[in-house]
Amino acid sequence: MPQRLESGFIHPVPSEITPRAAYEGRREWMKRLAAGALGTGLAGWAARDAMAQAKVVPLPGARSAVPGAYTMEKATPKADATSYNNFYEFGTDKADPAKNAHTLVTRPWTVAVEGEVKKPRTFDIDALLKLAAMEERVYRLRCVEGWSMVLPWVGYSLAELIKQVEPTGNAKFVEFHTLADPKTMPFVGSRVLEWPYVEGLRLDEALHPLTLLAFGMYGEVLPNQNGAPVRLVVPWKYGFKSAKSIVKIRFVEKQPRTAWVKAAASEYGFYSNVNPKVDHPRWSQATERRIGEDGIFAKKRPTLMFNGYEAQVGPMYAGLDLSKNF
């Protein structure tokens, strides 16, 4: 049964949390849609006020030559991309991260790389910033709730980091652990998910040149609410696979039990490739709405297989049943 906290707020048990979170996210989306301002509602304005007070630090990158790394679609307005976010450490409402993430301390910051590697190492954030040349990549982002964006990231292929630590022959998967600090992340400790947030990829997915270690967006250092100071971006997978505020990367032999697999394995599988043919148990994934486009008049657009990156990543899944390995 749900538990009532001293504040009077009723927290769902883990078996209930995913349906509730999904429902509340979709309810917020419908409220904004009804107001004719998807992604730009009143809550969004409060988030933007908080965002406007954040210090902006330039972080330019040269245009990437990686095939598929630069879609020519119109980028989502920065104000929408930085005020409509999923980052449950700072709240489950889409406007919560921009309002609450100012408490996140991003320096000093280190990322430990360990497990099945020949050269385990802990990287300071400044060392990571200098590890490889910064590139600008414009990727589509598709979230499981049915909304999408087009975002200009700044970073470099995760493979650049991986080659520094030399995975052993036992390394089959890569785990990403994010910061879980209740002092700076007000929702850590809640029963929304198991903390710290853990995500994972197969090693070949992690090595794919499109898999990005991102430090910035829109030519600037990442805002806190978007996963500062370093995050993952895997453009052919649903957004929750792209772990934010990473503090540890582990190379392991067995498939990791990720945060959403632990919470609701029947709804959020390990692979989480964007696949319009495989519905979420409670809604279709065949179409999407682009945040920042036309408010209530925004038309649904067809969702693309692998989010439009099928030519680049499809061969990795040849022979794999994507309806079972969702």
Domain of residue 251, CATH code: 3.90.420.10
For range 1-26, the mean pLDDT: 38
Assigned domain for 117 exists: yes
d(CA 79, CA 315): 36
For residues 288 and 275, what is the distance between their CA atoms, to the nearest angstrom? Answer: 12
The structure's pTM equals: 0.85
Nearest CA to 162 out of 216, 217, 213, 222 is that of 213
Residue 48 confidence (pLDDT) above 60: no
pLDDT band, very low/low/confident/very high, at 295 (cuts 50, 70, 90):
low
Range of the domain at 292: 11-317
- Determine the residue type at 300: K
Among the ranges given (62-66, 114-118, 147-151, 296-300), the one the predictor scored with the smallest mean pLDDT: 296-300
DSSP 246-307: EEEEEEESS----HHHHHHTTTS-SS-B--TTS-BTTB--SEEEETTSSGGGPPPEEPPGGG
Any domain includes 164: yes
How sure is the predictor about 34, in pLDDT bands with cuts at 50, 70 and 90? Answer: very low
Query: CA 128, CA 163: separation in Å to the nearest integer?
Result: 13
Question: Is the pLDDT at 12 greater than 90, yes or no?
Answer: no
Residue 17 placed within a domain: yes
Residue 323 lies in a domain: no
Q: Residue 176: beta bridge partners?
A: 199, 249
The pLDDT-based confidence of 9 (bands split at 50, 70, 90) is very low
> Residue 146 — very low, low, confident or very high, per pLDDT cuts 50/70/90?
very high
Tokens of 47: 């988030």
Of residues 228 and 26, the one with the higher pLDDT is 228
**75 against 1, higher pLDDT:** 75
Which of 68-89 are b and which e, b meaning 16 or more Cβ less than 10 Å from the residue's Cβ?
bbebeeeebbbbbbbbbbbbbb
The answer on pLDDT for 51 being more than 50 is no
| pLDDT at res. 249 | 98
Would you say residue 291 lies in a domain?
A: yes
Which residues, at least 6 apart from 109, have a Cβ–Cβ distance to it below 8 Å?
124, 125, 229, 230, 247
Q: What is the mean pLDDT of residues 145-171?
A: 97
Q: How confident is the model at residue 27 (pLDDT cuts 50, 70, 90)?
A: very low
Q: How many domains does the chain have?
A: 1
Has residue 215 been placed in a domain?
A: yes
Q: Please tell me the least confidently modeled range out of 118-122, 158-162, 191-195, 230-234.
A: 191-195
In this structure, is residue 205 part of a structural domain? yes
Residue 120, pLDDT > 50, answer yes
227 part of a folded domain: yes
